[in-house]
């Protein structure tokens, strides 16, 4: 009888654990570094609205996040800072081709330290002798770096400016370099410059021929496809869009 009671109690405990695991749908969201502040709040709001859900956030350069997913990292949602990286994810079979949705836009700025005396009215000014170090996300893996390189190439300045460029791992590192005065200028998104108004100032908005748009999609190898889609729907909902716009992101 004692053995039967213990067995039943053990079975009941296992049942409760299983039920808890079913109810608590945990997803991992890998998102571009520029989304850090906005997605932290989105994650909190999402969990508040859906108490049965748990959101783990992973931030980094879009290209680096893509490599992690390709190597088998357990990711359910991928949010990139550019279309090129998302299209690469589609070609590699990591996300479904027709499930990617644009959810935000941004602008590209050239910023300088808040106490800088440099006069930088446009890209041509970057050729000046007084501009020695310029932070740029590594164009090979960081979308903001690709946008900056595109702008410099269109202006015929890439060859002249390239020796001055300091490659960074993501846009937030570029922002930090400028804020600490370790470089004379840096390319960042408008949303990043806004979070350090006391440490950096905008020199000018960089002209681009393409729109900066952020796509998001569920990862095919993720274990929580249904929950991933519900999170994406929330990001695109009026509540999610309101949070993004509060952090300076533009409508998709």
Q: Residues 181-219: pLDDT tens digits?
A: 999 999 999 999 999 999 999 999 999 999 999 999 999
In this structure, whether the domain defined by 107-205 belongs to CATH 3.40.190.10 is answered with yes
- Contact between residue 97 and residue 50 where contact means Cβ atoms under 8 Å apart: no
Where are the domains positioned within the chain? 2-105+212-246, 107-205
- Contact between residue 164 and residue 129 where contact means Cβ atoms under 8 Å apart: no
- Contact between residue 57 and residue 40 where contact means Cβ atoms under 8 Å apart: yes
Residue 96 pLDDT: 87
Q: What is the pLDDT of residues 53-79, one digit of tens each?
A: 999 999 999 999 999 999 999 999 999
216 vs 139: CA distance, rounded Å: 21
How far, in Å, are 79, 103, 217 from residue 245 at the CA level? 16, 11, 20
Query: Which tokens in the block code for residue 9?
Result: 């109690």
Residues of the chain below pLDDT 50? 1-22
Burial class (CB in 10 A: 0-12, 13-18, 19+), 80: buried
DSSP 129: T
Residue 24 pLDDT: 62
Query: Which tokens in the block code for residue 48?
Result: 């508040």
Q: Residue 95 — φ and ψ, nearest 5°? A: -135, 150
CATH of 2-105+212-246, one of 3.30.43.10, 3.40.190.10, 2.40.70.10, 3.20.20.70: 3.40.190.10
DSSP 215: E
Angle at which helices 36-49 and 225-236 pack, to 10 degrees? 110
Domains 2-105+212-246 and 107-205 share a fold: yes
What percent of the chain clears pLDDT 70, i.e. is strictly above it?
A: 90
């Amino acid at each position: 009888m004692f053995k039967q009671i213990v067995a039943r109690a053990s079975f009941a405990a296992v049942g409760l654990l299983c039920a808890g695991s079913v109810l608590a749908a945990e997803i991992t969201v890998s998102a571009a570094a520029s989304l850090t502040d906005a997605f932290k709040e989105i994650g909190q709001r999402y969990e508040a609205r859906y108490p049965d859900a748990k959101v783990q956030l992973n931030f980094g350069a879009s290209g680096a996040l893509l490599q992690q997913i390709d190597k088998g990292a357990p990711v359910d949602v991928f949010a990139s800072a550019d279309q090129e990286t998302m299209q690469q994810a589609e070609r590699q079979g990591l996300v479904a081709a027709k499930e990617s949705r644009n959810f935000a836009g941004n602008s590209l700025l050239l910023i300088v330290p808040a106490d800088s005396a440099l006069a930088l009215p446009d890209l041509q000014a970057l050729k000046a002798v007084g501009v020695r170090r310029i932070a740029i996300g590594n164009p090979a893996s960081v979308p903001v770096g690709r946008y900056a390189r595109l702008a410099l190439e269109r202006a015929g300045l890439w060859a002249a400016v390239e020796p001055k460029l300091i490659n960074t791992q993501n846009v937030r590192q570029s922002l930090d370099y400028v804020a600490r005065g370790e470089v004379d200028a840096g390319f960042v998104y408008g949303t990043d410059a806004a979070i350090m108004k006391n440490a950096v100032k905008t020199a000018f908005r960089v002209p681009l021929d393409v729109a900066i748009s952020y796509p998001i999609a569920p990862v095919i190898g993720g274990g929580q496809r249904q929950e991933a889609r519900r999170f994406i729907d929330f990001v695109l909902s009026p509540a999610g869009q309101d949070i993004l716009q509060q952090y300076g992101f533009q409508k998709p």
